[in-house]
Amino acid sequence: MRSTLFYIPYDWNGVPVMGLGWLLLAWVVLSAGIMGWLIRKQGWNKETASYLPFLGVIALVIAVLLPNMMELAPIPGQPDKFMPVGIPIRGFGVMMMVAMVVSVGLGMYRAWRMGIDPEVMISLAMWMIFPGIIGARLFFIVQNIIESDGDFLRGGDVRAMLISFVDVTKGGLVVYGAVLASVPVGVYYIIRRGLPLLATLDIIAPSMILGGALGRIGCFLNGCCYGGECTWPVAVTFPPRAAWYLNDSPPYERQHELGQLYGMTIGETDGGRAFVQRVKPGAAAERGGVKRGDILTHINGKEVQTIDDAKVALGLSGKSVELTTSTGDVRRIIRENWPGRSLPIHPTQLYSALDAGLLALLLWVLYPFRRKDGEIFALLITVHPISRYLLESIRTDEPGQFGTDLTISQWISLGILVAAAGFWYYVEKQPRGSALPRMANGE
């Protein structure tokens, strides 16, 4: 895990780096160069003007939002005072940028091979990337609202929530949210440009899934999208936190809240109460007398009425914790050697990256052998939902929804499979061959 790669200092030579400072100046110069090159190449037209919103949004982010993302750390010995650490460059954000560059480059190369101006792929990417990020973030927020029964929004500062919404460099993006938002926008742009829809979707299909593969490496660096406990040789562990002033890493925090670091796992009864779902033989919980099925009423003397109450209480506990059951029994757990890392878990982020990478390679290799336009994209929306559904079964970061054990992503996977069946039917009705011209060197 390496959620933060390095920090950008607050200022340089007395001038702020973010806000009205060096970075904004550099972006203005770069934007002027881009617009000058476009005007010289193709004149002032709708295509040239379409770049302005993108350039303006980035300038706004640099001037207004990035200064509010300055990471602060409490001054040692003065917990009420903070010192600026800098603007963190997150591993997740860096992998997002790498995914965008590589995916767009791959699409440009394929477009060039098929006789399409590669710059069309840049414009298409701009139309898809930002709606995709917004959709991925909105999906994450909606998902948290559903899972927390609305608690995700209660008592929040509006300004802080808006800043949090755009701070996507440390995670909080859902792939399916990006797909649901970006694909319709991309389809609109393709039709608007007068490009053959099915043939263009085939071109971008490998790029879309390759971007997902690289993004999953960012998830691994961030510690999110983790799996359940694992005894396989590929199992990984995560540290408590990336830095002393930051919160615990997601897997470590989750295991602490569920009592797994004590050798037990709590669950929720049909009535919404916290109970001991599992006790690991020989662990501290068993030595403390904890029994499977114990319904918890108090933790460290504090009443717990729901499983969320229990998670908070366990997450604040240290080497020792006292549990009171519904029968009045008191269980005292003492863990003398507090774990310095999480329990071994499945590296589902890397599983997903490998799965998406292999699918991207398959789509790329099969592209020259397609019989009809649309078959490559149809294969993408058929294979990926199946693998995503299976991978979700070993992830533990999302609960089941709608009264089932299926996560939101699994439900959407099933929905996409149904849509894929309809898409295949439509593709099979199309004439053989491609609507795109081939270059002399062909595919």
Residue 4's DSSP bridge partners are: 90
What would the mean pLDDT of 108-113 be, rounded to a whole number? 93
Judge whether 410 lies within some domain.
Answer: yes
* For range 187-201, the mean pLDDT: 94
- Quick check: is 267 in a domain? yes
For the ranges 12-21, 143-152, 236-245, 303-312, the maximum mean pLDDT occurs at: 303-312
**Residue 10 binned pLDDT confidence (cut-offs 50, 70, 90):** confident
What strand order describes the sheet that includes 302-303?
302-303, 296-299, 320-325, 330-334
pLDDT of 111 above 90: yes
pLDDT digits (tens, 9 = 90+) for 314-353: 999 999 999 999 999 999 999 989 999 999 999 999 999 9
In the predicted model, is pLDDT for residue 399 greater than 70?
yes
In a shared domain, residues 312 and 352: no
Identify the pLDDT of residue 242: 67
Question: Are 224 and 283 part of one and the same domain?
Answer: no
Same domain, 356 and 328: no
Q: What percentage of the chain has pLDDT greater than the value 70?
A: 91
**397 inside domain:** yes
Convert the pLDDT of each residue in 200-239 to its tens digit.
Answer: 999 999 999 999 999 999 999 989 999 999 999 999 999 9
| Last residue of one domain, picked from the residues 273, 300, 334 | 334
Say if residue 368 is in the same domain as residue 420.
yes
d(CA 434, CA 182): 24
Assigned domain for 61 exists: no
Counting the structural domains of the chain, the total is: 2
The top-scoring range by mean pLDDT among 17-31, 90-104, 354-368 is: 354-368
Q: Is residue 131 part of a domain?
A: yes
Q: 124 and 207, same structural domain?
A: yes
Q: What is the CA radius of gyration of the chain?
A: 25
Mean pLDDT of the chain: 88
Six token digits for residue 420: 């894929």
> Do residue 132 and residue 219 come from a single domain?
yes
389 shares a domain with 297: no
Q: Going by C-beta distance under 8 Å and a sequence separation of 6 or more, which residues neighbour residue 280?
A: 263, 264, 286
Asked if residue 33 is part of any domain, the answer here is no
Same domain, 356 and 217: yes
Domain boundary pick from 264, 299, 334? 334
The pair phi, psi for residue 274, each rounded to 5°, is -80, 135
Same domain, 109 and 182: yes
Residue 163 to residue 291: CA distance in whole angstroms: 44
**Which pLDDT belongs to residue 440?**
37
For 125-139, write each residue's pLDDT tens digit.
989 988 888 888 888
User: Please, which contacts does 29-33 make with residues 24 or more away whose CB atoms are closer than 8 Å?
Assistant: 31/55, 31/58, 31/59
Q: Taking 70 as the threshold, does the pLDDT of residue 302 lie above it? A: yes
State the pTM of this model: 0.82
Among the listed ranges 18-22, 283-287, 297-301, 374-378, which one has the minimum average pLDDT value? 18-22
At residue 274, the pLDDT reads 96
pLDDT at residue 252 is higher than 70? yes
Q: What is the CATH number of the domain that holds 277?
A: 2.30.42.10
In a domain, 416, yes or no: yes
Domain that holds residue 294: 250-334
Last residue of a domain, one of 334, 369, 386: 334
In this structure, are residues 370 and 376 in contact, taking their beta carbons and an 8 Å threshold?
A: yes
Whether 149 is in a domain gets the answer yes
Q: Which of 188, 130, 137, 136 is nearest to 162 (CA)?
A: 137
Clarify whether residues 94 and 213 are in a common domain: yes
**pLDDT surpassing 90 at residue 312:** yes
144 and 200 in a single domain? The answer is: yes
Give the pLDDT band (50/70/90) at residue 442. very low
CB 274 within 8 A of CB 295: yes
Tokens found for residue 7? 């920090």
Q: At residue 172, does pLDDT exceed 90?
A: no
205 and 104 within one domain: yes
